[in-house]
Structure 1
Amino acid sequence: MAEPRLEVRTADGATTAVALFCHGGTIASVEPPKERALSLARMRAIEQFVAASGSGRGLTTCLLRYRVAGWNGIAADAYADVRWSLDRIRAEHGDVPVVLVGHSMGGRAVLRAGGEPQVAAVCALAPWTPPGEPVGHLRGATVAILHGRGDRWVPAAMSAEFAGRAQQAGAHVARFTVAGGHSMVRRALVWHAFARDVVLAGGGLGPQRADIADALRRSDEESLARSL
């Protein structure tokens, strides 16, 4: 099986923060992800949007290309690839803050990696979080979630349940919903801007957006059900 790889867009000047972008996949498959997969195309578009705002501030962006398209049960292949990526980023850039951005299966992978020491924040877009997905490792972590209210592939109730458990475990969680489904095509700019703002704030390259900052400060259920 081939190694994963990173498509890297280097900061203008010295790298002071890194954002790692992880696209969606499927429940089980040992085939390589398709080059023209919509999930890859959508995440690449978000990565490019964020890079355009952050590269001049010292942000390097990395798009993860998985070894295989599936999560594959206890193998958790996408999560293993995220951990591999974090090792590579650390070797290349040292202990700079890393913000993880993931969609669907990629959202599950970045949430699994959210407790790693170098991770400054996690941005999960319509994350696939099955019942029982672990949350204890997220104590003290900053987690921002955006989910489409009309998502038929990964219902928004999944991330709501996950967010509640993560908050109870001590994570700082801001969860929002938006009109649209799983592909992040409807109201695309909202998805793009959300990822950009979480990345820039998490990487120390800009202030936290007011609505996200307010949600992170709150500990009641209202903060887990806001709309954009």
Structure 2
Amino acid sequence: MVLLLPEGEEASRRGASPLSYAAQLPLARALARAGRADGLACHVVRYRCRGWNGPDALLAGDAERAVSEAVERYGDVPVCLVGYGMGGRAALRAGGHPAVNSVLALAPWLPENDVAAEPEPVRQLAGRRVLIVHGTNDERTDPELSYRLAERLKKANRDVCRFEVHSDRHALRQHRAEVTALSVDFVLGALFGGAFARPVADALAAPPPLGLRMPLAAGFGRSLRR
């Protein structure tokens, strides 16, 4: 089971964005096609509103509710949360739900470390496989923040890796085919126990910083066969 969490906004009480929802449909279709033989179900989550809204963490709450509803509908199945931007933060935060076995965060929006604020939590992700993907030229969400989070998480959970998409920006459009192939490989491997592609397996096994700054090679996925 895959739940995709769209982009959101830092602060807003407006309804969920139809454009952000639609932006996740191509990846949802790619995952559904790749996992059809295994009966993989994919759904894009519709938020109640588009804002994270500080301590309310509304998008994370919506993600947790979506996981619970998926369990009610599909039964005891493993869930992978796939989030983009603010949805990436929601996926990481909601990854502690008992049904979640893996998290994929694409260009996750993370707050700057404030001395007076609590750091972004990571303990909830113990026992989950986690992949973070970030463009090195992201102009909206600092890729260094996702590296720092991955570094903290790796100390408590060895099944963590992070790929850098060199020269790509927040939308990850320049290397969309490679990002999609990487996402498919990770999700199917995490949910169905298959072997990961060699770069993913190497990144998971490598100590920091190597496994957290793994470059996503041009053409990734062209020669993969499942």
Aligned to 1:203, the other structure's residue is in SS state helix
Aligned 8 A contact 2:101 2:127 in 1: no
Higher relative contact order (CA 8 A, sep 6+): 1
Contact 1:141/1:171, CA 8 A, preserved across alignment:
no
Q: Could you tell me which residue of structure 1 aligns to residue 126 of structure 2? A: 139
* Structure 2 residue ranges without an equivalent (≥5): 114-118, 217-226
Question: What is the CA–CA distance in structure 2 between the aligned matches of 1:200 and 1:96, rounded to whole Å?
Answer: 13
**Higher mean C-alpha deviation, range 92-101 or range 209-218:** 209-218
RMSD (Å) for aligned C-alpha atoms? 1.3
Q: CA–CA distance in 1 between the matches of 2:215 and 2:145?
A: 16
State TM-score, norm by structure 2: 0.88
In the alignment, which residue of structure 1 is the partner of 2:219?
Answer: none
User: 1:1-228 to 2 correspondence within 5 Å?
Assistant: 18-35=1-18, 37=19, 39-130=20-111, 131=113, 132-179=119-166, 180-204=168-192, 206-228=194-216
Q: Does the aligned pair in 2 maintain the 1:23–1:103 contact within 8 Å?
A: yes
What amino acid sits opposite 1:140 in the alignment? G
CA–CA separation in structure 2 for the residues paired with 1:97 and 1:183? 28
**Identical aligned residues as a percent:** 36
Distance in 2 between residues matched to 1:171 and 1:207, nearest whole Å: 17
Instruction: Tell me how far apart the structure 1 counterparts of residues 36 and 134 of structure 2 sit (CA, whole Å).
Output: 27
Whole-angstrom CA distance in 2 between matches of 1:126 and 1:194: 14
Kindly indicate whether the alpha-carbon contact (under 8 Å) linking 1:143 and 1:171 is maintained by their aligned counterparts in 2.
Answer: no
Runs of 4+ that moved beyond 4 A: none
Q: When you count strand as a share of all residues, which structure comes out higher? A: 1
Moved more, 214-223 or 177-186: 214-223
Tell me how far 1:184 sits from its aligned partner. Answer: 1.9
Give the total of aligned pairs. Answer: 209
Structure 1: 5+ residue runs without aligned partners?
1-17
Further displaced range: 188-197 or 151-160: 188-197
- C-alpha distance in structure 2 between counterparts of 1:112 and 1:152, whole Å: 23
